[in-house]
Structure 1
Amino acid sequence: MKSRATPPDMTKEQKSELKALYARRKKLSKSIANDIARDSRRIAAIDREIAREERSLAREAKARLQTITHHLRSERRLMLNGVASHQKGTSATQKACAAITRRISILEGRLNS
């Protein structure tokens, strides 16, 4: 170990105190570095646990949503098909209405003649 240069006018007590202060500072610096490393590892572990919980909750929420909305989506699909058939004019109700209109036309045609 390299000794530090001390000013020539220091007493033995001052040299001893300086040496003790250097040792204490080195020990505290090492302690600080260890604390930083320990805390950094714990922060990373917390971040990983949070991410894991977020993924788990997202999966659970997606599965629950699919369970809840399954019958609603089926009903929606049926309603969309009904709307589409009404728009095309091919629904059973529209066919019945057209048949009645034809029959009325036939009967009115007979009455007018």
Structure 2
Amino acid sequence: MHELGITQNIVAIVSEHARGSKVQRVLLEIGKLSAIMPDAIRFCFDICSQGTVLEGAKLEILETPGLGRCRQCGAEILLEQPFGMCNCGSVEIDLIAGEELKIKEIEIEEVCV
């Protein structure tokens, strides 16, 4: 399960950006063609965040669809797999979206003095 290593890196990156502040929420964007399983990330997040500024933080995951562009006619098509066929019959498809893994938002606790 490579999601464990990915989640450890996410926790490390968010912790660094939080600079010691308590993290309330993390929003990830995961492409459906990325070979990353959102449920596995959710499971690993609780484990990896224990004892860090992310412990107890809410994890939200936005799954983005796969999108390709036909080299022959230029049409954009939705993809469920990293390959497909255009309506024009071409199988020469360039992937333009769906392989992403991004930390989109981090919400930290503000401490008023």
> Under TM normalisation by the shorter chain, which class is it?
under 0.3
**TM-score w.r.t. structure 2 length?**
0.18
**TM-score w.r.t. structure 1 length?**
0.18
User: Which structure has the highest strand share of the two?
Assistant: 2
Q: Which has the higher contact order (CA 8 A, sep 6+)?
A: 2
User: Which structure has the highest helix share of the two?
Assistant: 1
